[in-house]
Amino acid sequence: MFPTLMHIGQLPVFSYGVMTALGFLFAILWPVHLAQKEGLSAAKMEGLGLVIVLSAGVGSKLLTALDYPGFYSGGWEHFVFDQMLGKGGVFYGGFLMATACSSLYFRVVGLPGWQVADCIAPGLALAQGMGRIGCFLAGCCWGTPTSSRLGVTFTSQVAHNLTGVPLGVKLHPTQLYEAAVVLLAIPLLLWLRRTKTFQGEVILAYVLYYAVVRFFLEFVRDDPRGRYVYDLLSTSQVISLLILPFGLYLLFRLRTRPRLARMSVRAIRGMEPRAAGQQKTA
């Protein structure tokens, strides 16, 4: 584990911050590229990327601070550099905040929300995977003790000071488990983009997939993350349980939309990349 990649003068450059930043970058560039192929405005997509990055960053930290009072502490300099850039946040906090802000952005600039969301899905999975690798390097989001060959032992005092990860104990590398699961979903998402029958199918499939994965993965996580229902469920498990029926409802509702909506998907799928790229952007 390498919680600190380097120092620029006295300023530490944290591995978590670097991996998260790279994940956000790819999560902007890739959806812009996919959206351009479908004739959507690159400028509006880039604006959306900025909205997602800012809202997701704020949302993930807010839910962390609300769920674990005292997790962030110290002066502003310590808060920004050590805790904001050196520590992770709750993914669902960022996801929910970004979803709300993106929905508002869609209405303001006139982007087709479900179509854009399908373009975002592969980039979201890539950003999550890179972020979880950053979590592993930083030492946050650690797992329960294990005797499995997959177990890892953290030894960095810096990581312990930043996140509280236990040192000298063999733990489940839950960060890498999640990274592998979401990265392996990317080929499926790309295939689904080519074969989908309605707008929103790709993003909803990924959200439901992740909710199931996250629910079960939480059972082998051991970092402080809130406890509910007689201390049986974590914050993310409760959110997963709420997302599953709502996501299934949306999936059923969109699937049963009028035939015209499905026809628009076939029209977009048949659009030539060259022709799409010639459409006016704003």
* pLDDT, averaged across the chain: 84
* Residue-wise pLDDT tens digits, 241-267: 999 999 999 999 998 875 545 555 666
Does some domain include residue 282? Answer: no
Tally of structural domains, the chain: 1
What are the φ and ψ backbone dihedral angles of 12, each rounded to 5 degrees? -75, 140
Residues of the domain holding 225: 4-268
Query: CA 195 → CA 202, 260, 269, distances in Å?
Result: 10, 17, 8
Does some domain include residue 157? Answer: yes
Does some domain include residue 281? Answer: no
Q: Give the DSSP H or E segment for 76.
A: helix 76-78
180 within 8 A of 245, measured Cβ to Cβ: no
233: which strand partners?
A: 228
* Residue-wise pLDDT tens digits, 108-137: 999 999 999 999 999 999 999 999 998 898
Does some domain include residue 275? Answer: no
Give the pLDDT of residue 120.
95
* Residue-wise pLDDT tens digits, 6-46: 777 777 777 787 888 898 898 899 999 999 999 999 999 99
Does some domain include residue 54? Answer: yes
Does some domain include residue 90? Answer: yes
Cα 131 from Cα 114, distance rounded (Å):
24
Does some domain include residue 278? Answer: no
pLDDT at 275 over 60: no
Token pair 């911050």 is found at 17
Residue (of 240, 224, 218) closest to 64 by Cα position = 224
Does some domain include residue 277? Answer: no
Global pTM value: 0.83
